[in-house]
Amino acid sequence: YVPVRGRECSSQQMPFIKEKFTTYNDFANANMEDIYGEKLKDSYSNEATEFNSILLLNKGNNKFEKITLPNQAQLFPTLAISLFDLNNDGFEDCVISGNIYETEVETPRLDAISGLALISNGKDGYTPATMQKTGLYLKGNVKSMESLKFNDHTLLIVGFNNDKLRTFELTKN
């Protein structure tokens, strides 16, 4: 195993790294044991096995159904999700969003998509709806989102980092 973070970010959190590995090349060629030594054997370890954005549907009795979201939903971090019937077909659709501008120096900001509407097929999955079809374009560092019924419309209230709340009405097609 090798560290995910490079020497720059790692040494900001653990200054001994900069002293132990005086060059970036030395750090790049080191493995985890070279860096952390014997203490690594007693350290906490965990393993991630799922990196997809998913929905977990509660089926009751502590049973959940996992639905992997479509490829377009994997292009950005999902920080906010709102469930409501976007196209009036009787099935809950979902709008997902989220960007991360405030990343470490070694990580580019995560802002590939400005929100995505996913239309339920009524059984076991969702199909992405285009921005042209929904009118959904959430430009900015989205952190939260809620839907709100107002008269006969559904409004999307979106919170942006260090910005004011914005309200959107999506086009129903």
CA separation for the pair 163, 173 (Å, rounded): 30
SS3 153: strand
Looking at the chain, the whole-number percentage of residues with pLDDT higher than 70 is 98
Instruction: Look up residue 73 and give its two tokens.
Output: 């939903």
Burial of residue 118 (CB within 10 Å: 0-12, 13-18, 19+) is: buried
How far is the C-alpha of 108 from the C-alpha of 102, rounded, in Å?
9
Kindly report, residue by residue over 131-172, the tens digit of the pLDDT: 888 888 888 899 999 999 888 788 899 999 999 999 988 665
> Which of 75, 140, 73 is closest to 102 using CA atoms?
140
Q: What is the pLDDT of residue 34?
A: 93
pTM score, two decimals?
0.77
Alpha carbon distance 13, 3 (integer Å): 13
Mean pLDDT of the chain: 89
Alpha helices in 94-145 (DSSP H): 131-134
Residues 170 and 116 sit within 8 Å (Cβ to Cβ): no
Cα–Cα distance, 150 to 167 (Å, whole number)? 12
Q: What is the pLDDT of residues 64-94, one digit of tens each?
A: 999 999 999 999 899 999 999 988 899 999 9
